Amino acid sequence: MSDETILSVKNLTVDFNEHAILSDVSFDVKKGEILVVIGPNGAGKTVLFKALLGLIPYRGEIKWQNNVRIGYVPQRFNTSRDFPLTTEEFMQLAPPKNNREALFRSLKLVGFSGDEHHLEHHILGRKLGLLSSGELQRVLIAAALLDKPDVLLFDEPTSGIDIGSEEAIYERLKKLNKEENFTMLLISHDLSVVHRWATNVLCLNKKEVCFGEPRVAITPDVFKELYGEEKSLYKHNHHEMA
């Protein structure tokens, strides 16, 4: 594995009850790249991330760069209005315990504005269940940043949030990628994310369907194999959509 390659996956297969959930997947990710993983429901996208994180058994090879730090942001974190933890208490759950300066830095990295007094009273001191969906997602990302990761894994980072917040989160992720040189792996159902943000795309449908630069890798035949029908991309003022 070269010095620039942070992750190398070779012939990855995941079985469950003697059936292959994911079969013969191979790809590399270089430092600073954004890899977006797409595919239909049940294609094995989340299974891939679980294998990358070492949470499930697999066959094949997953090789991370030595001493790499990995941050993970889940697809959903369900809270109710009476969820007992404040934002600060939630962010302090992951060891080691961080000082206030680290919390403020992470919050500002994901776009929360204001001085420390404002952040303390309006974000850190608020109950997690009282945050908006966009605020909650940014807090989850901020928590993942506390360990100063080299790589961030996002399982549909804008699932369940409004379009305005979605755009703001992706803009912030791109800024982090550019300014902090984070390597990012994202699962998404939004094809505009692939064409606007991805260095490379990995197409899955229980096996590897395509891998490479989006405008080269994604073809009508690939879409047909992924979704069972041909699709085309068009542009409007804000997004490219399928």
pLDDT in tens, 184-222: 999 998 888 898 889 999 999 999 999 999 999 999 999
Predicted local distance difference test score (pLDDT) of residue 233 = 46
Give the pLDDT confidence score for residue 170 in this predicted structure.
85
Q: What is the pLDDT at residue 176?
A: 87
Q: How many domains does the chain have?
A: 1
The pLDDT value recorded for residue 99 is: 86
The CATH number covering residue 34 comes to: 3.40.50.300
Residue 11, domain extent: 5-241
- pLDDT score recorded for residue 239: 44
What does the pLDDT read at residue 229? 67
Instruction: Look at residue 190 in the predicted model and tell me its pLDDT.
Output: 82
pTM score? 0.86
Below-70 pLDDT ranges, the chain = 1, 76, 78, 95, 160, 229-242
237: Cβ contacts below 8 Å, ≥ 6 apart = none
Reported for 101-108, long-range contacts at CB under 8 A and 24+ positions apart, including other chains, are 102/146, 103/142, 103/146, 106/142, 106/143, 106/145, 106/146, 107/138, 107/139, 107/142
